[in-house]
Structure 1
Amino acid sequence: MTGTGVHAALAPQGVALLDVRRGLGQWRFLDPVGAQLWLDITSGTAPADAIDKLTTRWQERGADAAQVRVDLTALAADLDSAGLLLPADRPARNGALSIRFAPEADGGALHRLAGHAGLSAALLLLRCLPVRFALTAARAVTRLPGRRAEMEDAEAAFAAVRRAARWWPGRAACLEESLAAHFASALTGHRVTWVIGARFTPHGAHAWIEADGYIIGQEETDRVWPYAPALKVERSH
């Protein structure tokens, strides 16, 4: 981890940058050309050299070199002003994961209690504080004793959070639900992976949990996948 507060989701369609240094986090999507510029500069190439290299490449393909240079120079300046020309954390992709749609499993009284506690904590953190505090708390609970969750364990935690959300005013979105399920799993002695990621066609962000080779709790109405992970919170060993 670089610790810069910038996280990157990489895909053939480009790169999505998540900046968690302020507020609830901000996303910036770059097309393949912009992504290459960002990758070159953040890998140590001087901005002017990176712009020269890409300009030459596109000139050889018939593009107007002057316009390409203007566009790339403006993009580099824009990313620099936003503080995004930094090395970013880039989580490894786990390959193809199976998707489990939102479960209705009932894990019993312990899971219901953990669901309410997890949702309370997630809502408090995400609605009252900058997202970096939620990340700190999410990383902290990975150090609680417990075993790696199996699919049924993760589904029971997610279902408990969904059930608890019916008692709360307003809507708990995927960010709140997934963080709450991460907390609820920890409270019942299980470890899941909390993931925040992005997709490119169309642009969008999503948060979910993973366990036992499965993506847990995906909505039946959202079948646009895959999302590329930008940030993962899991036990490191």
Structure 2
Amino acid sequence: MDFGHVRVVIDYRTGRVRCQVPGRSQDPVVAPRSSWGSDEHIAGTERLGGASSLSAAVALTCVFAIKRSGSESTAMHRLITTLRTAMSLSRRPATFRQATAVVLAVRRAAWWSPGRTACLEESAAAVLLLAARGLSVTWCHGIAPDPVRLHAWVQTEHGELVAEPGSTRAYTPVLVLGDRREQ
């Protein structure tokens, strides 16, 4: 993705993020260790009301297991492959209300998680939980420039952001999975 003042290259097989600044060396430099998440999202910093969902905790545990089941350098590839497979089994689009309820249930479960839980883990768990119910959403991974930051989120088939601040629109989607409008 070329933003003019910086070119960002994401390798979804290895999870490596590299940046190239025009006028400097032509070789991309490795970006600072990426969190694959945004700092602006509340993701576990405040408790959300409502009962915690066991199925949301199971979906989150599956995401952690997928990320840790092999080499760290291929964790993102494994997760994307799993999301694609899960989405291929979905029969009908989730409504905004259904998707929001699942995302909030995952966020409640994430509060008790012993590991890092940010937008990547939350959005992936929401996709898995919805897919287990035969429902689909669109999963997006995007970049925002200046400073360069990454974010993952879900949206409805009509493009409605699910439980996301409006500032999510500042991210340019780089990888979009499950967008039925393109099929």
Q: TM-score range by the shorter chain?
A: 0.7 to 0.9
Which of 104, 111, 116 is the aligned partner of 1:171? Answer: 116
8 Å contact from structure 1 (residues 141, 186) kept in 2: yes
Secondary structure at the aligned position of 1:218 is classed as: coil
Higher radius of gyration, 1 or 2: 1
Secondary structure at the aligned position of 2:112 is classed as: coil
In structure 2, the residue matched to 1:119 is 60
1:226 aligns with 2:170: yes
How far apart, in 2, do the equivalents of 1:141 and 1:230 lie?
20
How far apart, in 1, do the equivalents of 2:18 and 2:64 lie?
25
Structure 2 unaligned regions, length at least 5? 31-41
1:213 aligns with 2:166: no
In structure 1, the residue matched to 2:38 is none
1:200 aligns with 2:141: no
The alignment yields a C-alpha RMSD, in angstroms, of 3.1
How far apart, in 2, do the equivalents of 1:137 and 1:159 lie?
21
How far apart, in 1, do the equivalents of 2:137 and 2:84 lie?
11
Give me the TM-score of the superposition, normalised by structure 1.
Answer: 0.58
In structure 2, the residue matched to 1:43 is none
* Identical-residue share of aligned pairs (%): 30
Matches within 5 A, 1:94-113: 112-113=53-54
Give me the TM-score of the superposition, normalised by structure 2.
Answer: 0.73
How far apart, in 2, do the equivalents of 1:141 and 1:105 lie?
28
Show CA shifts across 1:135-168 (max 9, x none): 1111001111421122111101101111221232
Higher helix share: 1
